[in-house]
Amino acid sequence: MKNLRLITLLFLSFFVVTLASCDDDDEDKDPSRTDLLTAGLWTGNSVYYQGQDVSQFLRDSAQFEIKDLTTRFDKNGEYRETLGRTIVGTWEFANNEQDIIFDKGTNNELTVNVTRLTATEFYYEQDFQGTILEFRFLR
Q: How many residues does the chain have?
A: 139
What confidence score (pLDDT) does residue 17 get? 46
φ, ψ of residue 90 in degrees (nearest 5): -115, 155
Residue 103's domain comprises 33-138
* CATH number, position 112: 2.40.128.540
27 falls within a domain: no
- Average pLDDT of every residue of the chain: 87
CB atoms inside a 10 Å sphere around CB 42 = 22
Domain count, the chain: 1
91 falls within a domain: yes
pLDDT band of residue 22 (cuts 50, 70, 90) is low
72 falls within a domain: yes
Angle at 106 between CA 104 and CA 109, to 5 degrees: 55
User: What tens digit of pLDDT does each residue of 78-95 get?
Assistant: 999 999 999 999 999 999
Q: What is the pTM of this model?
A: 0.79
